[in-house]
Amino acid sequence: MGPPARIDDNIVEAIGQSNLVRLNKIPLLLAAKNENDDTITPPTPAEVVAKIEFTNPGGSVKDRIAREMIEDAERNGEIKPGVHTIVDVTSGNTGIGYGVVAASKGYDVIQIIPEPYSVERRALMMALGVKVLVSNKKDGMDGACKIHREVMQKLGPDKSWAPRQFDNPGNIKAHFEHTGPEIWEQCGGKVDAIVAAYGTGGTLSGITSYLRSKNPNFKCIAVEPMEQSLLNGDKPGPHGIQGISPPFLPTNVRIEEIDEVIRCPTSEAMKTARALAKEEGFAVGISAGANAWAASQVANRPEWKGKRIVTIFPSAAERYMSTELYESVRDEATNLPLSTFNPGTVIEG
Ligand code: PMP
């Protein structure tokens, strides 16, 4: 008799159960850049651990909510494969998540993505069979929502379904029922804070609610781009951290749960994302860079000694090859000259 079989029945079952991994170098490297860093001796006062969500089938944390919202709607009898088309506005990662779940279950998907988000996101959605509509950058979120309304009207209520990820309670529920409990178990019940950015807010709100139900002293620290901090009363403005901080505060951001806000400059998010790859082998996206940067600021506070901070690495580096994060690497890779190196000489020599 061999070991018991452990085969997922389909790709939807492969969503979630991501690893939680300690950061060993980045918090220290960032501490060393502070001026009066003689108080910081290795290790940093607090520990930072990252939930590596880029290991999901669609390459991001958003697979989790795509599954939850679609399966909630199925349980409520709202949608059926082959009948309903899933229509939503996305910065790409949720659209890719819908693509994964819908291809497996047999739904059609139409996604509206505003112009500035990376072309890799559009291409991945299309590879998964999603119909992609791109909205004009100058029309902002309102433009994307207008197209969404038009598509819904055209298809009609019997044939279309809008998950509305910014308001759908299934978004928070996915993280309350899965991501939060996974972290609690992986930490063996010792976890003191989350430091993470919000897009829809589902990840931050769901994880915080669950971990606070286990540890009433649990702290929730939100990350926003330096260029736009709505939680500090800023007006909406452009920033370069794709997938986080839309130009409005979504319902799924539970403001009353947030203890502190840290602003991360886009340039630091990019630098930290590149350092995470080179120094520790985490090939991640820009928002993971922002999260690691902000979590490291907190981990370096002497009063946080002995605490454990969890952060999120939402998506993978491949999704950013056409963006400022990695376009120079991509160009260099494209133009690498053919090598004249002859391995025979080394072997013979
Ligand atoms: N990072 C990236 C790259 C994302 O795409 C998103 C979601 N749009 C987030 C972070 C934030 O996740 P949430 O929507 O759960 O707040």
Domain CATH for 26: 3.40.50.1100
Task: Give the ipTM.
Answer: 0.99
Amino acid at 94: T
Domain residues for the domain of 145 are 61-161
86 near 161, Cβ under 8 Å?
A: yes
The answer on 226 and 155 residing in a single domain is no
Q: Total domain count for the chain?
A: 2
- State in Å: Cα 339 to ligand 1 middle: 40
The answer on 288 and 227 residing in a single domain is yes
Query: What is the pTM for the complete model shown?
Result: 0.94
Task: Tell how strand 20-22 and strand 47-52 pair up.
Answer: antiparallel
The answer on 119 and 200 residing in a single domain is no
DSSP 3-state of 328: helix
In a domain, residue 281? The reply is yes
Amino acid at 85: T
The answer on 73 and 181 residing in a single domain is no
In a domain, residue 325? The reply is no
In a domain, residue 34? The reply is yes
Return the residue whose CA atom lies nearest to atom 12 of ligand 1: 199
The answer on 156 and 81 residing in a single domain is yes
In a domain, residue 2? The reply is no
- State in Å: Cα 343 to ligand 1 middle: 45
Q: Specify the long-range contacts of residues 127-136, CB closer than 8 Å, at least 24 apart.
A: 127/99, 128/58, 128/96, 128/99, 128/100, 128/102, 128/103, 129/99, 129/102, 129/103, 130/95, 130/96, 130/98, 130/99, 130/102, 132/95
Ligand 1, residues at Cβ distance < 6 Å: 60-62, 91, 93, 197-204, 242-244, 285, 287, 314-315
The answer on 119 and 176 residing in a single domain is no
- State in Å: Cα 244 to ligand 1 middle: 5
Return the residue whose CA atom lies nearest to atom 6 of ligand 1: 243
The answer on 179 and 96 residing in a single domain is no
Decide if 287 is catalytic. yes
Return the residue whose CA atom lies nearest to atom 8 of ligand 1: 243
In a domain, residue 237? The reply is yes
- State in Å: Cα 270 to ligand 1 middle: 16
The answer on 295 and 148 residing in a single domain is no
Residue among 51, 62, 105, 307 flagged as catalytic: 62
**Where does a domain end: 126, 142, 161?**
161
The two structure tokens encoding residue 175: 């993280």
- State in Å: Cα 93 to ligand 1 middle: 8
The pLDDT tens digits along the chain (349 residues) read 899 999 999 999 999 999 999 999 999 999 876 656 666 677 889 999 999 999 999 999 999 999 999 999 999 999 999 999 999 999 999 999 999 999 999 999 999 999 989 899 999 999 999 999 999 999 988 999 999 999 999 999 999 999 999 999 999 999 999 999 999 999 999 999 999 999 999 999 999 999 999 999 999 999 999 999 999 999 999 999 999 999 999 999 999 999 999 999 999 999 999 999 999 999 999 999 999 999 999 999 999 999 999 999 999 999 999 999 999 999 999 999 988 777 666 565 5
Decide if 209 is catalytic. no
**Where does a domain end: 161, 184, 219?**
161
Ligand 1 atom having least distance to the Cα of 288: 1
Burial class (CB in 10 A: 0-12, 13-18, 19+), 33: exposed
The answer on 139 and 95 residing in a single domain is yes
Ligand 1 atom having least distance to the Cα of 200: 14
